[in-house]
Amino acid sequence: METRVAVLAIIVREGGSVEALNGLLHQYGQHIIGRMGVPYHARGVNIISVAMDAPADTISALSGKIGRLPGITAKTVYAPVNNQE
């Protein structure tokens, strides 16, 4: 199955959803290249970026599940498809 490279941008405003978020990230761990989290105390949020290499439907599924968690927003950016092979 063809995979895509993407970055999930996650903003956490609600600490009560962090356990569920970490559970989802663990569940999809085989597709995660890397993860970086930055607490931004001045605004009371945490910013997480997750780099992935997975089928597009897998990336979309994870993003949707994360976005439904209370107090969490998720958006996905896909790398352009390289057709020069």
What pLDDT does 81 receive? Answer: 84
What pLDDT does 1 receive? Answer: 80
pTM of the model: 0.89
Fold of 4-78: Alpha-Beta Plaits (3.30.70)
Q: Is pLDDT at 35 greater than 90 in this prediction?
A: yes
Rounded average pLDDT over 37-64: 96
More confident residue, 83 or 40: 40
**Mean pLDDT (the chain, rounded):** 94
For 1-85, strand residue ranges (E) read 4-12, 32-40, 45-54, 72-78
Q: Which two tokens stand for residue 41?
A: 């105390």
d(CA 28, CA 74): 15
What pLDDT does 14 receive? Answer: 86
